[in-house]
Amino acid sequence: MLEVSPDRIAAAARRVMARCDELARVTATPGRIERVYLSPEHARVNRLAAEWMRELGMRTRQDAAGNQIGRLDRIVGDTLDPDAPALIIGSHLDTVLDAGRFDGIVGVLMGLEIARLLRTPVGDGRFGVALPFALEVVAFSDEEGTRFGKALLGSSAVAGLWDEDWWALTDADGTSLRQAFLEFGLDPARIGEAARRPDELIGYLEAHIEQGPELDRRGEPLAVVSSIASARRFQLVVEGEARHAGGTPYDMRRDALLGASEAALAVERICRDEHHIIGTVGQLEAYPGAVNVVPGEARFSLDLRGEFDETRDHVWDELSRELDAIMGRRGLRWSSREVHSAAAVMCAPLLQDVVREGIGAADAPGGTDPAVIFSRAGHDAMSIGAITDVGMLFLRNPDGISHHPGESVSAPDVALGIRALAESVLALAADVRVR
């Protein structure tokens, strides 16, 4: 058990909340929170996080993909072991456009508070952890995929999943990922150096707001995550014919926007019928985009998620057939490009157990039998699951609103989360010792 006073945990939670506010001020657009991969804002939050890590006596580095890492070595006798395998606690500091201030951020900051609670002086002014492993906090650089349309770039590099084709991805201004790396001061040729080997790691824990209403509805602050949704994202193009808005009778129109709109409604209809699949059209643009021209082209995005890969793929097949039918009726052509695909990831049973134990030890409401939730949102844990066991702790997210400035979490829930996460680390340490 963690021998720490409630006051110290409450102070840790207050610090997390204040730092969420501080990071929210690092934005590309005043009045909104917008912080994308390889931007000046990314560099600024990495510098802040590195400062906070160093204050805790952590060794810090920014890796080859722009992830910010802090490490407390394992203490062996009265020295530090720089090579001991590590437990990583992580999440991300990048945001969607017009974001809330907690998605990802709260998990990184809670990781720092765990390091603060568990760090141990070595005797000569240095700090380590008196655990059977090292403790690392990782602030991932790109989870949302806001800038290049491809999610999980930071954690994919750490998991050794980098795909050379990604260098050609471009942002809205036409800047390629390769160019953005160079402008940020990173060397694309060194991306492989960000990859971690499974034998360097004990596991990965991530705390995150739920981004849904289940805990709020249950009146409970914390949950064990069982698995993370399988996801696929597409960019679709519908081609019709641009013509005069006044002069073209309906029977001659091939309106691409109407085809795309009908497709968006089909996404809702088909996904609603299919339990556990959620589909969202979040972007929709018409071209040439003039008030007096029938849209000749429309582009839209599709985000598909589900608990199981097979159901998700089955829904995509069904949607594709429906799009053929819609576009056929309207004399339109359609095509799609898959920009993201991630298989469902199971949280490791052992790490689900330690998170459950952590929640119980934190004495949270529902603690002895906490909610177990499948995450419909994507998380860095998805890619890290390729190299080590992952576990996640969810925090209540009032009204379930996220990817929105109204996103929230309460300081008392963060305090419970900090205690639960620290207890989870101790439970894992006890298990590793026994093994």
Nearer to ligand HGY, 103 or 210 (CB): 103
154 binds, among ligand HGY, Mn ion, none (CB under 5 to 8 A by kind): none
Nearer to Mn ion, 103 or 357 (CB): 103
Nearer to ligand HGY, 34 or 143 (CB): 143
DSSP designation for 83: T
135 binds, among Mn ion, ligand HGY, none (CB under 5 to 8 A by kind): none
Assess contact for 240 and 256: CB atoms under 8 A: yes
What does the per-residue mask of binding to ligand HGY show for 116-155, with x meaning CB under 6 A? ---------------------------xx------x----
Give the binding-site size for Mn ion (rule: CB under 5 A). 2
Quote the tokens at residue 113.
């508070």
Residues 6 or more apart whose CB falls under 8 angstroms from that of 337 comprise 234, 235, 236
Nearer to Mn ion, 34 or 103 (CB): 103
394 φ/ψ angles, rounded to the nearest 5 degrees = -100, 145
Residues 6 or more apart whose CB falls under 8 angstroms from that of 110 comprise 16, 89, 207, 414, 417, 418, 421
Assess contact for 343 and 309: CB atoms under 8 A: yes
255 binds, among ligand HGY, Mn ion, none (CB under 5 to 8 A by kind): none
How far is Cα of residue 366 from the mean position of the Cα atoms in its chain? 26
Q: What is the distance between the alpha carbons of residues 210 and 226, in angstroms, rounded to a whole number?
A: 13
378 binds, among ligand HGY, Mn ion, none (CB under 5 to 8 A by kind): ligand HGY
Region of 21-29, 103-111, 173-181, 326-334 interacting with Mn ion (CB under 5 A): 103-111
Nearer to ligand HGY, 103 or 413 (CB): 103
- Residue 104 in contact with Mn ion, rule: CB under 5 A: yes
What does the per-residue mask of binding to Mn ion show for 211-240, with x meaning CB under 5 A? ------------------------------
327 binds, among Mn ion, ligand HGY, none (CB under 5 to 8 A by kind): none
Nearer to Mn ion, 142 or 262 (CB): 142
Nearer to Mn ion, 114 or 377 (CB): 377
Tell me the pairing of strands 277-280 and 371-375.
unpaired
Cβ 398 to Mn ion shortest distance, Å: 17
Q: What is the distance between the alpha carbons of residues 172 and 269, in angstroms, rounded to a whole number?
A: 31
User: What is the per-residue DSSP string for 261-326?
Assistant: HHHHHHHHHHHHHSTTEEEE---EEEES--TTEE-SEEEEEEEEEESSHHHHHHHHHHHHHHHHHH
Region of 100-108, 215-223, 236-244, 422-430 interacting with Mn ion (CB under 5 A): 100-108
Tokens 């003039």 -> residue: 290
Residue closest to 23 by CA, chosen among 52, 44, 53, 50 = 44
Strand partners of residue 222: 395
For 266-296, give one letter per residue: b (16+ CB within 10 A) or e: bbeebbeebebbbbebeeeebbeeeeeebbb
- Residue 236 in contact with ligand HGY, rule: CB under 6 A: no
- Residue 392 in contact with ligand HGY, rule: CB under 6 A: no
Helical spans, DSSP H, in 33-146: 40-55, 105-118
Cβ 47 to ligand HGY shortest distance, Å: 23
What does the per-residue mask of binding to Mn ion show for 60-99, with x meaning CB under 5 A? ----------------------------------------
Between the CA of residue 347 and those of 229, 385, 388, what are the distances in Å? Answer: 11, 8, 10
- Residue 279 in contact with Mn ion, rule: CB under 5 A: no
Cβ 435 to ligand HGY shortest distance, Å: 33
10 Å Cβ neighbour count for 352?
A: 20
Nearer to ligand HGY, 143 or 255 (CB): 143
Q: Which of 41, 103, 206, 357 binds Mn ion (CB under 5 A)?
A: 103
- Residue 377 in contact with ligand HGY, rule: CB under 6 A: yes
Cβ 103 to ligand HGY shortest distance, Å: 6
Q: Which of 85, 132, 378, 417 binds ligand HGY (CB under 6 A)?
A: 378
Between the CA of residue 98 and those of 32, 53, 101, 405, what are the distances in Å? Answer: 5, 27, 10, 6
Footprint on this chain of ligand HGY (rule: CB under 6 A): 103, 143-144, 151, 377-378
Q: Which residues bind Mn ion (CB under 5 A)?
A: 103-104
